Every structure is written in C-alpha cells, then in structure tokens.
C-alpha cells in the first residue's frame, strides 16, 4: 500500500469503518492530494436504496413518538463522539477533499456546533397560540415530525452539510438517508460509523434511523423520485438543482436547495485596508476557491484601487500552494482534473474579454491538480465573471460610485454571500439594504459562516436555508388546531347555518 492509502486505511480502521466497505467495491476513490487511489467503495444498487428507504420509513414511525428532548440526547451523544473523533475525521477530510488541516478541523467543529445547537433546540420546538375570533375557542399551531429526510451533499463540505441537516432532522423526529458526493464517500462512511457509536450508547433508537447510500447522480435521483422521501435537502451546483427541483415539485415533495454562488465584495474608500486584505485573501484563496461562499468578484473603489490591488497581488504571489499534509501551505489541491480544466477554460475566456490574468498556473504535475490562485483584473463584469467557476479565480473590478457597484454586485444569477468593507455607517447600511444575497456582511469576508444563523442564498442559489435560526421548521410539518371549549358552535366570519 502506498503512503496515503495506508494512512487512509489506518484512519478508517480507527474511526470504526468496516474493512470490506472501503476495499471491496467497484467505485474507486482518489485523494486529490496525490491523485492516487485510496479505496474502492460499493455503490448502492436499486435494491439497497429500496431497503434503506423501507427501513428509514419504519424508523421514522418509531422515532416520531420518542419525546424530542430524548431525541436530543442521541444528538448530544453524537456530539461527544465527534469530539473524540475530531482529529481523525478532520485528517480524513484533508485526505479526501484536500482541505488544509485547520479547515478540516473547522469542518468537524461545525458538526459539533450544530449538535450543540440541535440539543438545545430539542426542548424548544415550539408553536404559537393565536387569538381566535370565536368565544370559548383556542387556536394553536403544533409542529410534527415530517418523515424521511434525504440529504444529497457536495464534495467540498463532505461532512458538515450532512450534519447541519441530520442534527436538526433527528431532533425534529425524522429519519435520514444520506447520498454523499461520489468524490467523498470515505468521510461519509466514517461519519456513519461515528454516529453508530452514539446509537449504541443511546440504546433503544430504531434501526435505520440514519443511513448512507454511496453512489453518483443515479443514486441521488432515486432519493429525489421516491415518494417515501418527504424532504430532499440537496447541496451542489446550480446545474444539479435545476435537475432536482422540478422532479421534487412534480411529486409535491419539500426541497431545501443549497446551490452555487458567485459572491462579491466591495472595498470602499474608508475601509480598514488591512482587514479587507485578509478578508478578501481568505475568502478568495481559502479552500482553493472551492467553497460555495468563496469570494469570486471584487469591486474596489477607484481612489484606493492601485495600492490595494498591488498588495493583494503580492499576497497572491506569496501564498503557499501544496500538499496540506506535508507542509504549512494555505492552498491545497483542486478536487480533480475536471476542476482544473474548468479553471483553465475560464482564464483564456477572461483574457478574451479584456482581463489581465495574474497567476493561475499549475504547480507540479502528475495525477493531482495544484494551482496558483488567479487574480484577474477585468475592465467590466462580463464573460466568465458572470458565472461560478469552482476554482480560485478572483475577478477584480474598479468602481467610482457605490450605487453602481451595488447594482453590478447584484447583477449575477447567484445570490449566496456578499460583503462590504467600509467604516462609513451610511455605506454599510445602504449595502445591507440592497444586497440581494442570503448572507450580507460588513467588514468580514463572504466565507466562514457560523451555524447559529440561517445559511443559504437567493436566486439561482436555490432559496434554501439550513442550520441555525428557525431553519428547523423545514424539517417539521405545521398543524393548526382549534379547540372549542364552549357549548355553542359559532362559525368563523359570522357565517350562519341554522338547521
């Protein structure tokens, strides 16, 4: 066994994943760090999917009757198991998704955080009591568990996105079936093994409460089309969402869609430029430009453009690119060759549209794809600037009037995350009022959301919200109940129907 393959096997073994699950399948799994094959996983076939959904349905019918605070206890135990497994799971995230170690650890921390949030929530799944127009009546709303929740996740947050959904879905009384990205099956198997440890400690949870189906698009489609799945939470490209949304609508299923972003930052004349530099550098180059919230467009005011962009270019030229396991670099690999090719197609297109490209070249060769992040000075918002290329390309543009900058900022199809760097209160508020994104920040970058807020975006980002705030309501169904405790039967709106 080669180095990374051996290391992966050691981690999977420690994390409790059965040997056969990652050695005896037909789907090869590669590490973007070196491109080498690290495992061979089994793809779920139609019979596996059918059995999983049948088991999930039965699990739901038992789990919905367990009191919510008791359901929270399972999620609390899962959080404990995650704390114990944090370092190993984080390293596996680095190996499988290419994140630098602190981002791998950050991803697992997000899972722990959402568990804590969900445990508290398990005692707060509250409805309202509403004033009624009829005497001797009480009207209220009650939230009930929903059913089987299908989770389809992307490669770039291979475990946290599932946890955002699963922790809430479970305390809300649902069962969960997860179709992880075909590019990151191992972290999913490891997460499932960790969850099963929590289940064993919990004791009497129904079998099939949380299951994993390994596979590609077809496996995702099977979840999308199956009437036994009440809600599908799908994270990935807008292309995927465009395929999934009408199929879910066709059968009136619920959907949470978390799709692509094309996130912009405005740097205003009054900005703290040191802060702006760090915020933009992390937002644009972090995770090798492979976050849905990655900063892809930058609008810099004319009066500070030359100095600020010169500093940014210097940061781009000096940032360490390389294998995150072997060095203290900040930019790891692209996920695969297709990602590299998409980047190499976008850069000439930007040039053809008048852009001046700095960086973007490949670092090293072989079966892994490392690139120097690219900063592209653009004469305007045209060509590839209008689309998400899932790679580290930052398009930089000048502006001289804030209203124009905000109009350009909003003038793309996606609407996920946005930010302004300014110390001018009026500018900050104008931006917050006008940004059409689900996330709008002042004096911090576009990426790195906390779990306490609702996460998601508008327009072609899909409109879904996950994680904090009141996102839990999507995993439950609402019933309006009216109780008549009088001995009369007054009809609403004064309708009379005297027999």
Q: Which two tokens stand for residue 309?
A: 């962009």
Q: Which two tokens stand for residue 189?
A: 């198997």
Instruction: Count, in order, helices (H) and strands (E) of the chain.
Output: 14, 23
Contact pick of 64, 137, 217, 477 for ligand NAD (by CB under 6 A): 217
Q: Does 259 help bind ligand NAD (rule: CB under 6 A)?
A: yes
Question: Which among 454, 495, 451, 483 has a CA at the least distance from the CA of 471?
Answer: 454
Measured N-to-C along each axis, helices 217-225 and 238-250 cross at an angle, to the nearest 10 degrees, of: 30
Residue with Cβ nearer ligand NAD (156 or 381): 156
DSSP for residue 331:
B
Closest contact distance (angstroms) between CB of 147 and ligand NAD is 19
Contacts with ligand NAD, 387-406, as mask; x by CB under 6 A: -x-x----------------
User: Could you say which residues in the range 274-303 bind ligand NAD, by CB under 6 A?
Assistant: 292
Closest contact distance (angstroms) between CB of 85 and ligand NAD is 22
User: Could you say which residues in the range 412-451 bind ligand NAD, by CB under 6 A?
Assistant: 416
Contact pick of 32, 150, 158, 260 for ligand NAD (by CB under 6 A): 260
Q: Which two tokens stand for residue 405?
A: 């900058």
Please tell me whether residue 146 adopts helix, strand or coil conformation. coil
DSSP 61-76: HHHTTS-HHHHHHHHH
Q: Is 292 a catalytic residue?
A: yes
Q: Is 258 a catalytic residue?
A: yes
Residues 6+ apart with CB under 8 A from 65: none
Q: Does 262 help bind ligand NAD (rule: CB under 6 A)?
A: no
Q: Does 181 help bind ligand NAD (rule: CB under 6 A)?
A: yes
**Helix or strand run (H / E) with residue 358:** strand 356-359
Residue with Cβ nearer ligand NAD (179 or 297): 179
Q: Does 224 help bind ligand NAD (rule: CB under 6 A)?
A: yes
Contact pick of 150, 158, 236, 355 for ligand NAD (by CB under 6 A): 236
Residue with Cβ nearer ligand NAD (246 or 348): 246
Report d(CA 491, CA 481) in Å as an integer: 15
| Strand 356-359, strand 295-301: pairing | unpaired
Closest contact distance (angstroms) between CB of 215 and ligand NAD is 7
- Write down the catalytic residue from 115, 172, 292, 437: 292
| Three-class DSSP labels, 217-261 | HHHHHHHHHCCCEEEEEEECCHHHHHHHHHHHHHCCCEEEEECCC
Q: Which residues pair with 125 in a beta bridge?
A: none
Residue with Cβ nearer ligand NAD (80 or 221): 221
User: Could you say which residues in the range 126-155 bind ligand NAD, by CB under 6 A?
Assistant: 152-155
Footprint on this chain of ligand NAD (rule: CB under 6 A): 152-157, 179, 181-182, 216-217, 220-221, 224, 235-237, 240, 243-244, 258-261, 292, 388, 390, 416, 461
Catalytic residues: 258, 292
């Amino acid at each position: 066994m080669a180095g990374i393959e051996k290391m992966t096997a050691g981690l999977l073994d420690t994390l409790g994943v059965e040997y056969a699950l990652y050695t005896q399948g037909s789907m090869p799994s590669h590490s973007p760090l070196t491109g080498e094959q690290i495992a061979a996983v089994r793809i779920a076939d139609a019979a596996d999917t059918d059995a999983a959904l049948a088991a999930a349905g039965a699990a739901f019918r038992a789990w919905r009757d367990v009191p919510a605070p008791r359901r929270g206890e399972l999620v609390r135990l899962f959080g404990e198991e995650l704390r114990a497994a944090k370092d190993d799971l984080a390293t596996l995230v680095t190996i499988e998704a290419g994140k630098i170690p602190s981002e791998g650890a950050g991803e697992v921390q997000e899972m722990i955080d959402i568990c804590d949030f969900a445990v508290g929530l398990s005692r707060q799944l509250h409805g309202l009591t509403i004033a009624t127009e009829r005497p001797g009546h009480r009207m209220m709303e009650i939230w009930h568990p929903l059913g089987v929740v299908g989770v389809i996740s992307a490669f770039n947050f291979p475990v946290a996105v599932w946890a955002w959904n699963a922790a809430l879905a479970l305390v809300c009384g649902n069962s969960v079936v997860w179709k992880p990205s075909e590019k990151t099956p191992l972290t999913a198997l490891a997460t499932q093994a960790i969850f099963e440890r929590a289940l064993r400690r919990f004791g009497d949870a129904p079998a099939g409460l949380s299951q994993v189906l390994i596979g590609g698009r077809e496996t995702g489609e099977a979840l999308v089309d199956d009437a036994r799945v009440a809600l599908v939470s799908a994270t990935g490209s807008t292309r995927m969402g465009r395929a999934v949304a009408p199929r879910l609508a066709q059968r009136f299923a619920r959907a949470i869609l978390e799709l692509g972003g094309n996130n912009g930052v405005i740097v205003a004349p009054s900005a703290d430029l040191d802060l702006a530099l760090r915020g933009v550098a992390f937002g644009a180059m972090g995770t090798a430009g492979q976050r849905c919230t990655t900063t892809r467009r930058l609008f810099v005011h004319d009066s500070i453009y030359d100095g600020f962009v010169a500093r940014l270019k210097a940061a781009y030229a000096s940032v360490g690119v390389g294998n995150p396991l072997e060095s203290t670099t900040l930019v790891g690999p692209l996920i695969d060759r297709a990602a590299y090719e998409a980047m190499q197609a976008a850069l000439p297109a930007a040039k053809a549209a008048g852009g001046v490209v700095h960086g973007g070249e490949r670092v090293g060769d072989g079966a892994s794809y490392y690139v120097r992040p690219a900063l592209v000075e653009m004469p305007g918002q045209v060509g590839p600037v209008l689309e998400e290329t899932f790679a580290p390309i930052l398009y930089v543009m000048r502006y001289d009037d804030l209203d124009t900058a905000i109009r350009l900022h909003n003038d793309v199809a996606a609407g996920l995350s946005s930010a302004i760097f300014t110390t001018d209160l009026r500018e900050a508020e104008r931006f917050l009022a006008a940004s059409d994104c689900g996330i709008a920040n002042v004096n911090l970058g576009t990426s790195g959301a906390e779990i306490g807020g609702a996460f998601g975006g508008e327009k072609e980002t899909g409109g879904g919200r996950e994680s904090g705030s009141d996102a839990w309501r999507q995993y439950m169904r609402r019933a309006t109940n009216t109780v008549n405790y009088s001995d009369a039967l007054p009809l609403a709106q004064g309708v009379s129907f005297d027999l």
